[in-house]
Amino acid sequence: MKSSTPVIVLTFIVGILIIAEFFLPGLNLANASNEVQNWGVVIAAFALGLAAVNLVRIHGRRIILRRSEWWNSALLLFFLFYMIVVGIIAGTDYIAYEFAFQNVMTPLGATMYAMLSFWIASAAYRAFVARSIEASILLISAAIVMLGNAPIGEAIWARFPALGSWIMDIPNTAAMRGIMIGAAIGAIALGIRVMVGIERGYLGGGNE
Amino acid sequence: MLTKLQNIDKRIIYILVLLAIIIPLVSPMGIPFSINATTQAVFDKIDSLPDGSTIAIGIDYSPGAAPQIHPQAKAVLNHLFYSKNVKILFTSIATTGPMFTNQLLDEIAGHDKVYGTDYIHLGYLPGVETAISAFAKDFYKAFPVDETGGNIADFPIMKDVKSAADLDAMLVFTASEPSQYVRQIQGAYGVPLAVGINSVIVSTNMPYVNSGQMFGLMNGLRGAAEYEVLSERPSEATASMDALSFTHMIVLAFIIIGNISWFGTRKDKEGV
Amino acid sequence: MLGTVGTWLAAIGTLAMMSFAWRENPFYRAFEHIYIGIGAGHATVMGWQNIQSNLIRPLQVDRHFLSLVPLVLGLLLYTRFIKGQAYLSRYPIAVLVGVGTGLTLRGTVGSQLVEQVKATMIPLNNINNIILVLGTTATVLFFYFTAKKSNKAMGVTSKIGRYIMMIAFGATFGNAVMGRMSMMIGRVTFLLRDWLSIL
């Protein structure tokens, strides 16, 4: 039973059910579609544990083999199990859980992303050069939007916010709508390819 | 000189960015700012919701995006909890959403709204678009229990609400693409939808505002500050606006320096 | 007391992550590992809570035995860790992909195609409408008819498409600057206000 055919057939049946329920209400498929969507929710819930299992495998091995900086793996696993044990036994509103979320997870995650402010300032300096007509348009548009966003731009010239909004509302909307329509056609084509089994990239995971 | 300008140590840039934040935070100037039409539209719609309306609020951001989106959500909730009589269902499709919802509810405490009657926290549902579609179809099936573990059918707020079709509006605070809400909430049920999102995805979502599929949109920290001003509760986002101005000036200055040095040394490069 | 410990812990974590800007270092790596562990732990707990409310409860309270299907499928996901049995994990993935594809297909047609095309069917009676219609059309054509560049009219349209997209990408960059600076403002505000009590 390692053939891909049953898996493709299952994908097709589930997909067609969801689509038919919507476009052919006369078929009364609402209950079946609802049930299958709830299966999807439960399977997605199971999937949330996959990362933890994978991390235990990889970092457990690193600790056993005393690989370089194995203590970092130990730290990782300690916090992984801390959250799992406290969260499952006491719940996510328990003080020890909220403490870890608010004082460890939130600041670390927020700072990791905040570092992008440094990289974007550095990138603006090194790569944002008006080398061609396209690059010049890009640069001017970005500068106007920035001056429209920052209150100081408004202090320099009162019409910067209006100009920035105009760029967002008109030319930006035109281009993004063009891309959106193109992406929609692409997504529909990809969806059909997945349903009929031409596109099988998602089967890659279980190949052994 | 120009070659020197071309090789500024990146750590000097980082320090200048930090200073551009620290200095205006320590000694604020209070540069005034205007209100964007997309934020105004969110405020106007919320402000005009009739008493007894039911809305859903999706809290879908992660710690990374929280500095931009958490102040938006807080400003909107302050408006809703202190100036409106609207029933609110909190949902989430991000694993971190329920934690931020609890945090928000703690931060705005002091109102006279009652849990279970005026608002309810339905918790998190995995599956992203599948989750949105599932709860839009049937709140009871998707969220059999609320965040406190109670049967949702026992709460008065759920008496007249079965699916998204019973909602008067939905607001989503998210750091990922909100187009799935456009497809599964606005598109499928015609529920008026507005979003509070991080700035980087604003431009890709403007077509939805133009087409009326979103009645409004809040753009990052600036959107939060605008909402705070509109609801006459200036707070942390408003206080951050000077720092936002200074950091933008730093980036613009470096763009200018980068261009001057590039054009200044271009002849040397062409000569090589 | 607990609040102070929490603030100090958050401040140390913030500084550790920021130290990466100077150079990659062991202090940063330790906190990076902590973040991954805590994040994966939290996701697992959220998954567990959902299994409780959306699987175990319907089975126990409502005797909804169809819930045994996602129970089996969910467990099959973990066969990917068992040598020789990994192919079984394709079945739950097939259900997830089937539901996802079905939902995307039915939603995309209306929300992203019909509604967006409809919003472009506007009278060409002012400059903004002309830019909207021309810009949208030129961008679509840029992607779909790249092969016909030899045709002069197509070449011009393609160029308009390229320029209008550059305006949009510039706008995206401008907004990205605001977003990223906001995130750092959030962290610096925390350090100055909550930790150092300067503000």
pLDDT-derived band at C6, boundaries 50, 70, 90: very high
Neighboring chain A residues of B65 at a CB cutoff of 8 Å:
113
Q: Which helix (H) or strand (E) holds C54?
A: none
pLDDT of residue A208: 40
Nearest alpha carbon to residue A98 among C195, B122, C188, B96: B96
- For chain C positions 174-193, those within 8 Å of chain B (CB to CB) are 175-189, 192
Tell me whether residues C30 and A134 touch, CB distance under 8 A.
no
pLDDT tens-digit series, residues C12-21: 999 999 999 9
**Has residue C88 been placed in a domain?**
no
What's the half-sphere exposure (Cβ side, CA atoms, 13 Å) at A197? 11
State the burial class of residue B264 (Cβ atoms within 10 Å of its Cβ: 0-12, 13-18, 19+). Answer: middle
Q: Per-residue pLDDT tens for A94-132?
A: 999 999 999 999 999 999 999 999 999 999 999 899 999
Interval A30-62: pLDDT, tens? 999 999 999 999 999 999 999 999 999 999 999
pLDDT (tens digit, 9 = 90+) per residue, C83-120?
A: 999 999 999 999 999 999 999 999 999 999 999 999 99
Contact C191, A119 (CB under 8 A): no
* Average pLDDT value for chain A: 94
Q: With CB atoms and an 8 Å threshold, state whether C185 touches B186.
A: no
Cα distance between residue B96 and residue B116, in whole Å: 22
Q: Which of B10, B217, B221, B254 to mutate to test the interface with C (most CBs of C within 10 A)?
A: B221
Task: Mark yes or no for CB contact B25/C192 under 8 Å.
Answer: yes
What range defines the domain where residue C127 resides? Answer: 122-199
Number of neighbours of residue C127 by Cβ within 10 angstroms: 9
User: Considering only CA atoms, which of B30, B13, B7 is closest in space to residue B242?
Assistant: B30
Distance from CA of A56 to the nearest CA of B (A): 20
Contact B16, B250 (CB under 8 A): yes
Output C30 or B6, whichever has higher pLDDT: C30
Q: Where are the domains of chain A?
A: 50-114, 116-181
Which chain A residues contact residue B15 at CB under 8 A?
Answer: none
C81 part of a folded domain: no
Touching chains, C (3+ CB pairs < 8 A): A, B
Residue type, B262: W
Spell out, as residue ranges, where chain B has pLDDT lower than 50.
272
Chain A nearest-CA residue for C43:
A48
Per CB-CB distance under 8 Å, the chain C contacts of A51 are 40, 43-44
How far is the CA of B55 from the CAs of B58, C65, C191, in angstroms?
Answer: 10, 33, 36
In this complex, is the C-beta atom of B185 within 8 Å of any C-beta atom belonging to chain C?
A: no
Contacts by residues A98-102 (CB-CB < 8 Å, ≥ 24 positions apart)? A98/B99, A98/B102, A99/C2, A99/C6, A100/C38, A101/B96, A101/B99, A101/C38, A101/C42, A102/B99, A102/B103, A102/C6, A102/C10
B-C Cβ pairs (cutoff 8 Å, strict)? 151
State how many domains chain C has: 1
Contacts of C132 in chain B (CB under 8 A): 210
- The whole-number pLDDT of residue A77 equals 98
Structure tokens at A133: 């007509």
SS3 of C127-166: HHHHHHHHHHHHHHHHHHCHHHCCCHHHHHHHHHHHHHHH
Residue A26 confidence class, pLDDT cut points 50, 70, 90: confident
Cβ of residue B170 closer than 8 Å to a chain C Cβ:
no
Q: Do C54 and A42 touch (CB under 8 A)?
A: yes
**Measured distance CA(A125)–CA(A82) in Å, rounded:** 43
**pLDDT per residue over C118-176, tens digit each?**
999 999 999 999 999 999 999 999 887 665 556 777 888 889 999 999 999 999 999 99
Residue C134, in any domain of the structure: yes
Quote the pLDDT of residue A86. 98
- CB C169 to CB A176 under 8 A? no
Nearest to B240 among C54, C107, C185 (CB): C185
Report whether pLDDT(A206) > 70.
Answer: no
Contact B39, A140 (CB under 8 A): no
Q: Which chain A residues touch B32 with a CB distance below 8 Å?
A: 151, 154-155
Chain-chain contact of B95 with A48 (C-beta, under 8 angstroms): yes
Q: How far apart are CA B236 and CA B197, in angstroms?
A: 17
CA distances from B93 to A124, B135, B152, B174, C120 (A): 34, 10, 18, 9, 32
How far is residue C74 from each of residues A16, A41, A83, B235, C95, measured CA to CA in Å? 21, 10, 22, 45, 10
With CB atoms and an 8 Å threshold, state whether A43 touches C73.
Answer: yes
Question: Taking the model in full, what pTM does it have?
Answer: 0.95
The predicted-structure confidence for A59-70, as pLDDT tens digits, reads as follows: 999 999 999 999
ipTM: 0.94
CB A203, CB C90: distance < 8 Å: yes
